[in-house]
């Protein structure tokens, strides 16, 4: 697939750039990407006691995102990034034009943020989960604004009921009532977390609740369509007081996973993957095949029908 090729090319470019770096050069330093906007990135120098600097980007480096560890050269007050260190992982999605879009690097936990209003889109949630499974990133599902439910703490969308049996952790939070913010804070410690979701669900509000000392702009949601107003424009990495990082990101319109032939769609659906070994055919796609354990489980109610439909939708998209 063309998309995969691009990523290999990028890797080669990075390795090449890496090999040409002279680490003994006193002008070469290491740092962490805090934010990226326009042709510039904000870098936190690895050596302590130095304040963050703004660096220009070289065009041949490929995408540089929050969480990237980089080498930069500081000459004549005009620092520039010269290479990206090898990544543990790179959370990516496809944008509306089918192009790869890097979200954040070296991430260990994805916080998928949903809310009572705007209400959760479970297809979007399943797309996030598939991306996280593909990239082996831990997941936390947060349902925020639980204060907006009349009967406080009860979730009208049954997220815990659907997702807990497959070992996803679902937390209900309210910034307004300070509910479960401590729990969330604890679950973030020592991870590099990235919080993502549609505009207006409260990603920045949660970030600010965890980091009360920090200036973070919070938006409103539109009175007209009850959607967010895309307040956060660029991702930013914050250090957590108890260790670890939290990357606040702009609201997404979608989170299309990358379709990679080497990773079957079913592997992004834990409950489908777990049953696949009981299917008659080892290459069963769980669509029309005889003696399919997955289809049987959908019919008996063991597998959630909506999840299965989302699986079929993604399978179809991957075959386009
Ligand atoms: N009732 C209620 N409102 C909340 C809660 N959390 C956030 N909000 C409100 O939701 C609105 C949007 O919050 P933000 O934190 O800016 O949302 P966001 O997800 O960062 O939005 P973008 O940056 O646009 O992607 C603001 O008016 C917040 O005050 C909550 O727990 N309960
Ligand atoms: Mg925001
Ligand atoms: Zn099957």
Q: Quick one: average pLDDT of 27-49?
A: 91
**48 pLDDT more than 90:** no
Q: Using a 6 Å CB cutoff, which residues line ligand 1?
A: 144-145, 147-148, 174-176, 199-205, 218-221, 228-232, 250-251
State the DSSP code for 251: P
Query: Could you tell me which residues come within 8 angstroms of residue 110 by beta carbon, excluding any fewer than 6 positions away?
Result: 91, 128, 131, 132, 137, 138, 139, 140, 193, 194, 196
Give the pLDDT band of residue 219 (cuts 50, 70, 90).
confident
Q: Quick one: pLDDT at residue 229?
A: 84
Q: Quick one: average pLDDT of 198-222?
A: 90
Q: Quick one: pLDDT at residue 314?
A: 95
Task: Work out whether strand 245-248 and strand 192-196 pair parallel, antiparallel, or are unpaired.
Answer: parallel
Identify the structural domains of the chain with CATH numbers, from first to last: 20-84 (2.40.50.140), 90-248 (3.40.50.300), 265-318 (1.10.40.50)
CA dist list (Å): 83 to 12, 73, 74, 101, 310: 12, 10, 13, 19, 39
Cβ 103 vs Cβ 65: under 8 Å: yes
Of 244, 231, 175, 232, which is closest to residue 206 (Cα–Cα)?
175
List pLDDT tens digits, range 108-131. Answer: 999 999 999 999 999 999 999 999
Residue with the nearest Cα to atom 13 of ligand 1? 202
Q: Quick one: pLDDT at residue 18?
A: 60
Centre of ligand 1 to C-alpha 195, Å, is: 13
Q: Quick one: pLDDT at residue 16?
A: 66
> For a pLDDT cut of 90, what percent of the chain falls above it?
67
Residue of 121, 228, 251, 254 best suited for mutating to test ligand 1, as the one with most atoms within 8 Å of CB: 228
This prediction has a pTM of: 0.92
Residue with the nearest Cα to atom 12 of ligand 1? 200
223-229-235 Cα angle (round to 5): 155
Q: Quick one: pLDDT at residue 280?
A: 97
- What integer best gives the mean pLDDT of the chain? 90
Q: Quick one: average pLDDT of 262-268?
A: 89
Dihedral sign of CA atoms 289, 290, 292, 298 in order: positive
Centre of ligand 1 to C-alpha 274, Å, is: 36
Centre of ligand 2 to C-alpha 54, Å, is: 22
List pLDDT tens digits, range 57-76. Answer: 877 788 899 999 999 988 77
Residue 104, helix vs strand vs coil: strand
Which burial class, exposed, middle or buried, applies to 182 when counting CB atoms under 10 A from its CB (0-12, 13-18, 19+)? Answer: exposed
Residue with the nearest Cα to atom 1 of ligand 1? 145
Give the pLDDT band of residue 5 (cuts 50, 70, 90).
very low
Residue with the nearest Cα to atom 30 of ligand 1? 145
Cβ 27 vs Cβ 73: under 8 Å: yes
Residue of 143, 219, 251 best suited for mutating to test ligand 1, as the one with most atoms within 8 Å of CB: 219
Cβ 113 vs Cβ 195: under 8 Å: yes
CB atoms within 10 A of CB 306: 12
Centre of ligand 2 to C-alpha 117, Å, is: 15
Residue 59, helix vs strand vs coil: helix
Beta bridge partners of 239: 245
Cβ 171 vs Cβ 181: under 8 Å: no
Give the separation between CA 212 and CA 137, rounded to whole angstroms. 27
Find the range with the poorest average confidence among 32-41, 106-115, 125-134, 211-220. Answer: 211-220
Give the separation between CA 172 and CA 183, rounded to whole angstroms. 10
Residue with the nearest Cα to atom 23 of ligand 1? 232
Of ligand 1's atoms, which has the minimum distance to the CA of residue 207? Answer: 15
Residue with the nearest Cα to atom 4 of ligand 1? 145
**4 pLDDT more than 70:** no
Burial letters for 59-87: b for 16+ Cβ neighbours within 10 Å, e otherwise?
Answer: eebbbbbbbbbbbbbbeeeebebbbbeeb
Cβ 144 vs Cβ 173: under 8 Å: yes
**188 pLDDT more than 90:** yes
84-189-137 Cα angle (round to 5): 55
Centre of ligand 1 to C-alpha 205, Å, is: 6
Centre of ligand 1 to C-alpha 97, Å, is: 28
Centre of ligand 1 to C-alpha 117, Å, is: 9
Find the range with the poorest average confidence among 148-162, 170-184, 221-235, 236-250. Answer: 221-235
Give the separation between CA 15 and CA 20, rounded to whole angstroms. 9
């Amino acid at each position: 697939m063309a998309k995969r090729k691009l990523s290999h090319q990028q890797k080669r470019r990075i390795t090449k750039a890496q090999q040409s770096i002279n680490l003994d050069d006193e002008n070469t330093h290491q740092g962490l990407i805090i934010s990226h906007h326009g042709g510039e990135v904000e870098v936190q120098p690895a050596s302590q006691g130095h304040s963050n600097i703004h660096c220009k980007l070289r065009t041949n480096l490929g995408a540089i995102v929050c969480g990237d560890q980089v080498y930069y050269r500081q000459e004549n007050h005009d620092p520039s990034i010269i290479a990206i260190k090898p990544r543990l992982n790179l959370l990516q999605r496809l944008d509306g034009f089918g192009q790869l879009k890097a979200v954040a690097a070296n991430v260990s936990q994805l916080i998928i943020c949903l809310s009572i209003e705007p209400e959760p889109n479970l297809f979007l949630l399943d797309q996030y989960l598939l991306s996280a499974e593909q990239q082996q990133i831990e997941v936390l599902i947060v349902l925020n604004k639980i204060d907006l439910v009349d009967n406080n703490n009860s979730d009208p969308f049954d997220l815990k009921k659907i997702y807990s049996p497959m070992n996803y952790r679902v937390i209900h939070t309210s910034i307004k009532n300070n509910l479960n913010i401590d729990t969330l804070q604890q679950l973030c410690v020592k991870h590099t977390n990235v919080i993502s979701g549609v505009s207006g669900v409260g990603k920045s509000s949660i970030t600010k609740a965890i980091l009360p000392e920090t200036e973070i702009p919070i938006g409103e949601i539109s009175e007209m369509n009850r959607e967010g107003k895309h307040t956060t424009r660029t991702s930013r990495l914050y250090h957590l007081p108890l260790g670890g990082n939290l990357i606040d990101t702009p609201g997404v319109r979608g989170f299309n996973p990358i379709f990679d032939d080497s990773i079957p769609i079913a592997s992004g659906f834990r409950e489908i993957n777990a049953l696949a070994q009981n299917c008659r055919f080892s290459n069963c796609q769980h669509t029309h095949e005889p003696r399919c354990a997955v289809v049987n489980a959908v019919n008996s109610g063991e597998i959630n029908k909506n999840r299965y439909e989302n699986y079929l939708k993604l399978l179809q998209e991957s075959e386009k």
